[in-house]
Amino acid sequence: MNTMKRLKIWSLVALLAMALVSCGDDIEVNGGNNGGNNSGNNGGNNGGDNGGDNGGDNGGDNGGDNGGDNGGDNGGDNGGGDVPIINTDIVGEWHLISWCDAEPEFDVYIEFNEYGKFNIYQQTWTFTYDRFTGTFSVNDTLLSGMYSDGSSWLASYIHTVEDSKLTLINTVDLDEVGIYEACVIPAEVIEEATTTRAEESVPFL
């Protein structure tokens, strides 16, 4: 009888032990699942955060690069290019209408722009128009210039502008006076003009 009781007791202990082991396995499984979920969530969150941060950083870098490139290009075009330096009433397009108090037997158009550059379209010693380019400067009433080949004008000129007319007085020969009228240079003159000139072609100014 005692033996039977002891067997029953050991059987109950064994069942209890098995039950405890089974519960431990469930706890480990749940712990593993929870750990996996938490790790996954944390990984996802961290990945999202890192992705956001990296995206932000990359966006910032790309934005900076693009901004730099665009800024550089625009700067090259605007800031690094031609900047208006001339603020005077000589800026404009002019047509020679009087030369030394007489009607000229030749034809001359001059354009002065706000960037300190000029274009001369002249039909003087040729049947077609020649074009001369260069830069000019204004010091009070004194007008001076230099051609693109580095040679200076034949003289500097005292200039006045009144009633849409530009008067240029040669400082070397004060009797040489040219009067120009404000105009729009004809397109056909500009199209015809060439910088490939005969050797005897001399710039007008």
CB 135 within 8 A of CB 116: yes
Contact between 169 and 100 under an 8 Å Cβ cutoff? The reply is no
**pLDDT recorded at residue 87:** 79
Q: CA 118, 122, 125, 129 torsion: positive or negative? A: positive
Q: How confident is the model at residue 86 (pLDDT cuts 50, 70, 90)?
A: confident
Q: Is the pLDDT of residue 60 over 90?
A: no
Residue range 83-95: mean pLDDT, rounded: 87
**Are the C-beta atoms of 89 and 161 separated by less than 8 Å?**
yes
* pLDDT score, position 133: 95
| Nearest alpha carbon to residue 161 among 182, 136, 137 | 182
Nearest by Cα to 99 from 162, 168, 156: 168
Average pLDDT, the chain: 73
Please check whether residue 145 is in contact with residue 137, taking contact to mean a CB–CB distance below 8 angstroms: yes
Considering the entire predicted model, what is its pTM? 0.59
Q: Is 159 exposed, middle or buried (0-12, 13-18, 19+ CB in 10 A)?
A: buried
Higher pLDDT, 46 or 92: 92
Give the chain's count of helices (H) and strands (E).
2, 8
pLDDT of residue 144: 97
Q: Residues 113-122: what's their mean pLDDT?
A: 96
SS3 of residue 53 by DSSP: helix
